[in-house]
Structure 1
């Protein structure tokens, strides 16, 4: 075991202003006093990759559904041999996780069952994926049909005369239940294919590590890059609209994109405006069901609801097009690099090894797109509809006097929302005032103070004593939590002052001034030529990748969204640095080496040096060749 440990959750108290915070969350989501011995025996890490800010009571639905369903597919559907699910708790408002291992004695027995179940999916991937598309789109359609309207003064006479026998209160309660159950269904669909995508990549990754001793993780990842992903379609649609605006002579009409109505009216008045507006309308369905956040928070802004966001991105792209920049992703270069590396490693294998290599690589490439595509359909599209309907419900109850602000419902747990709805329909039914308007305003105010107080403190990166070595594959691949990163968190890194070490997530070397941001609300602050430093990025931040030179995050592994997106945009990235966003300041000059996973603060720089992709690839080639020679020897 490591000598140093992280704090115990039982010894880490919040500020006085956050006293009583545990009351905001369900009993099973917090560390209970009578389970101290059990909970302290586990290592917990903060999942700031998916939940970087304090979670309000209603918002726990995101990680409850996601992590529950992830475990369901590992443990009950697929029986993945080395991995069960992940336990989760809220501590001081933040989400912490602890992977559940499979006992060594049970792994072998799960192998044949896994092969049967997973093998069926791998052999029928395209057919089952097409079926999946129908299921998730059908679920989204059902969510869209839900509505939360105030109850009428009297039941329509037609319902009485027809003998319907129920009132709108029945539909109101039922629609809330449907909102929850349909979203839970969608999250099960989310993991139907996702874990298989990770398993196929992990199988290929493990094989490469065996037959190519010393092969860099980067080289393995590059062999599956350059694929067509639907997750990039929203950004691609914006680029097409920017190019079309320049072609039609509409560029000057994007001056004030903060006022979408005025911008669109000005375009409509132009002779070529109708052609552009037709393309704009076509792009929205479904690709504007996209958030600048990650879909897990009620306040995440979706393009469909905030048209100033896509218009602003288009405005930026127009400027780049007019100044001669190529705004398209470097797909041809990525594919050429992918094929070059694949060919070089293939030449080292025996015929038997080559056959296995090609089979595993083919499967990894086939399933790899889903690892990102699901993100559009669930986190963006499904959750966008979910939050829109939840806001409608919150606003309706606000107008009925239950709380002072339109979105105050999110300070309630979802079981409390159900109780509140029953309070509302009961008051309506008996003809007397509901109790909620006299109860919830003061309670919401109390909870708002607690959430705000919790938000003033950053969470511990982990809790309790870490294992000597991190071996759980998903923890390594998705979150990038390695033994080295834990040393960084504990202050035991041997990195020199001013250097941060993390995961070499996307190759290339770049220098530039840092831009440190902590949320998507600050994306407008990012300037051309800067290096983005953040606790975590979201896949939806793609439109700013045309401005920045490199990306640095605190958390994330080789298969994290940040790593995959940066590779597909040809952007150098170092993920999983642990504390970079807290220690680096905006304006400091950084050198980001995505080939070896280091970020260095350059105190005395003389040149605005950015290694071009070609130079970075030459360095990659040299590194790969060295490893190839080692393997061959």
Structure 2
């Protein structure tokens, strides 16, 4: 009798211990976001942690980004485009982190979806330019409306003009309506976010699949190189800083940038120098819209945006000035990327003829057209929209601070968005009747209690996945975006060669590099990155462009061929291995490592 080998599994949600001090954590989040039935399907279904987009623990209000993003992704798969094999993605929060489980389409339902899918996708690809222009108009209009919202404390008395006009309202309705509108507007832009995003992935996936069919054995890297070197708006903020640094050197303004943490002092010193006014005009012109950019990813209330923390872009400019002065090349190697792209395209085209050649040209053309949106949407939604949103949230929180509900503008993040609306009515009721609201005696202690739970949850890194993985992972977006493949899951489970000096992952960007590791878990640690180091992170944000000019290579815990980390590293010409699962917890800062972006392998050479 043969004995079947035991199937390896990740821990079940019910098996994970709650960190000390985090007891009762699940009550901080909406009921529908936590596992309710740990003895049923939730404790059996395969879930993976999306630390690519949400690498740190959610405060209760911050779940809004995860909820809106994943819900809206699902609606385009399931209800708009009817993607034949893929519905949306279920999502839950466990121990403060976001876990996902793709929802497949039953096999018998797939054929019926195909004609409608082709009709809908065809409409977009046939009208891509005009529809994308309309998209930008819609998104900008939403951002403008967000900017126009205001949150101010209520006055001691209703203005006499309101008495005379018969307005018969006290203004509190504006405060509540603006809060509701704030939530509605950010939800609106998240719906717009996915109108084109899934199409960008689909176009690339269609080209990828076709290339694999007609060129058996073609490396994934070769396919990725065939769409590289395109102009992307997401790189504009970094490009603007490079232009400003180059201009500063040309005008001889280097001495003004000695202490960029002093923003006002730096700008004043620039203005006092010959040519300084010209530079300041260029600096101000770059801010709208390109400083609506965060060093994070836009999903957290603590993310710092350039427009509000100008010491960040000024610090990057200072470093670019140094590098220009040393004769370094600071621009992305676009010409080389384009030349390599064209060479590879020509090489593979020459192997085809007839219908295959025609199909290659059509599919490649669609992929190149749609590919930039995969990154560009980040600037408009995650950075610009969410930057305005978080700014307005802080503005609203200051109204509560003035009323004694809590001490700091960041404290609102410890409430759910439903609780914020309840607190608003508590505030305006107390004001209206001339009595003390309940909030000042309730929220300070409750927020402190919740802060302790969040801190305790944040003391432990999340499990990369939960429960037993399927024998084969076939869902294309899961593989392309997150790098969750059958091979990677097995590697996470420990099915490797036993070589504890090597970590395997996805070959995300070609090349080989050796250097000292710099492990970064939060954007606030980016200032620690030194010239020539190798960045090791849970995930890199697209906004880390200024850091990519310093480093030799990148290693991330999660991410596939179409992840932000993979795309950005290819565009900067840096080797990258993504989807390692545990790279950032296995590798330590200072270790000498070798990153092989061709083989998807990271070796620890010495401590």
TM-score (ref. length: structure 2): 0.98
Task: Please give the residue correspondences for 1:354-369 in structure 2 after superposition, counting only pairs within 5 Å.
Answer: 354-369=357-372
Task: Please give the residue correspondences for 1:139-150 in structure 2 after superposition, counting only pairs within 5 Å.
Answer: 139-150=142-153
Task: Please give the residue correspondences for 1:543-622 in structure 2 after superposition, counting only pairs within 5 Å.
Answer: 543-603=546-606
Task: Please give the residue correspondences for 1:176-187 in structure 2 after superposition, counting only pairs within 5 Å.
Answer: 176-187=179-190
Q: Which residue of 2 aligns with 1:239?
A: 242
8 Å Cα contact 2:12/2:44 also seen in 1: no
Superposed CA RMSD: 1.0
Structure 1 residue corresponding to 2:455, chosen from 452, 457, 465 = 452
Structure 2 residue corresponding to 1:21, chosen from 22, 25, 30 = 25
Deviations 1:157-183 (A, max 9, x none): 112211222221010000000000000
Q: Which residue of 1 aligns with 2:272?
A: 269
- Whole-Å separation in 2 of the counterparts to 1:59 and 1:281: 31
Q: Does 1:382 align with 2:385?
A: yes
Deviations 1:362-387 (A, max 9, x none): 00100111010000000000000000
- Whole-Å separation in 1 of the counterparts to 2:378 and 2:168: 42
Q: Which residue of 2 aligns with 1:342?
A: 345
Name the SS of the counterpart of 2:513 in structure 1: strand
8 Å Cα contact 2:208/2:223 also seen in 1: yes
Q: Which residue of 1 aligns with 2:435?
A: 432
Q: Which residue of 1 aligns with 2:52?
A: 49
Classify 1:390/1:482 alpha carbon distance in 2 versus 1 (closer, same or farther; 3 Å): same
8 Å Cα contact 2:229/2:571 also seen in 1: yes
Q: Which residue of 2 aligns with 1:626?
A: none
Pairwise CA distance, 1:40: 2.0
Pairwise CA distance, 1:36: 3.0
Pairwise CA distance, 1:12: 1.5
Structure 1 residue corresponding to 2:40, chosen from 23, 37, 40 = 37
Aligned length: 603
Task: Please give the residue correspondences for 1:89-168 in structure 2 after superposition, counting only pairs within 5 Å.
Answer: 89-168=92-171
- Whole-Å separation in 2 of the counterparts to 1:495 and 1:99: 31
8 Å Cα contact 1:54/1:93 also seen in 2: yes
Task: Please give the residue correspondences for 1:200-219 in structure 2 after superposition, counting only pairs within 5 Å.
Answer: 200-219=203-222
Q: Does 1:422 align with 2:425?
A: yes
Q: Does 1:525 align with 2:528?
A: yes
8 Å Cα contact 2:43/2:467 also seen in 1: yes
Q: Which residue of 2 aligns with 1:412?
A: 415
Q: Which residue of 1 aligns with 2:325?
A: 322
Q: Which residue of 2 aligns with 1:484?
A: 487
Deviations 1:398-440 (A, max 9, x none): 1210012221000000000000001111111111111111111
8 Å Cα contact 1:2/1:468 also seen in 2: no
Q: Which residue of 2 aligns with 1:614?
A: none
Name the SS of the counterpart of 2:606 in structure 1: coil
Pairwise CA distance, 1:37: 1.1
Structure 2: which 5+ runs fail to align? Answer: none
Name the SS of the counterpart of 1:343 in structure 2: helix
8 Å Cα contact 2:28/2:60 also seen in 1: yes
Deviations 1:572-610 (A, max 9, x none): 111011111101111111111111111111139xxxxxx
Deviations 1:277-298 (A, max 9, x none): 0000000000000000000000
Q: Which residue of 2 aligns with 1:8?
A: 12
Deviations 1:26-65 (A, max 9, x none): 00000013x6312123100010000000000000000000
Q: Which residue of 1 aligns with 2:75?
A: 72
8 Å Cα contact 1:2/1:465 also seen in 2: no
Q: Which residue of 2 aligns with 1:618?
A: none
8 Å Cα contact 1:24/1:447 also seen in 2: yes
Name the SS of the counterpart of 2:45 in structure 1: coil
Q: Which residue of 2 aligns with 1:190?
A: 193
Name the SS of the counterpart of 1:313 in structure 2: helix
Q: Which residue of 2 aligns with 1:333?
A: 336
Pairwise CA distance, 1:13: 2.5
8 Å Cα contact 2:259/2:266 also seen in 1: yes
Pairwise CA distance, 1:2: 6.9
- Whole-Å separation in 1 of the counterparts to 2:438 and 2:279: 52
- Whole-Å separation in 2 of the counterparts to 1:305 and 1:298: 13
